[in-house]
Amino acid sequence: MSSMVRSALLWSFLKFYVHIEFKGMEITINHQKKFFEELPSSLEALMQLTIPEVPRGIAVALNNQVVPRDQWASKSLRENDTILIITATQGG
């Protein structure tokens, strides 16, 4: 059994165990499941945890709906929400 398969199995077991034991919440951020014992109170609080110094040029969608930056503080999060964070980059 490859180490990648072992890691995936271990992660699945731990995620199940932690979810049962602590009854936390899970959300998806950029297609990756994240577990929180206590979900951040708002989208703004989540962004501060995820990106401590949130730069300009970031777009955030909550459950496939773009949320303007001035509304982050008023958007509550719930278990199984899906968040997509896109950062603008320069290039050519």
The conformational region for residue 57 under phi > 0 = left, psi -120 to 50 = alpha, else beta, is left
> Is pLDDT at 65 greater than 60 in this prediction?
yes
Task: Kindly report the CATH class assigned to 24-87.
Answer: alpha beta
pLDDT tens digits for 10-42?
A: 667 666 555 545 567 899 999 999 988 888 889
Q: In sequence order, which residues have a C-beta less than 8 Å from that of residue 70 and are 6 or more positions away?
A: none
Cα 69 from chain centroid? 17
Q: What is the pTM of this model?
A: 0.68
What's the whole-number mean pLDDT along residues 63-68?
Answer: 96
pLDDT tens digits for 41-62?
A: 899 999 888 887 877 888 999 9
| pLDDT score recorded for residue 21 | 52
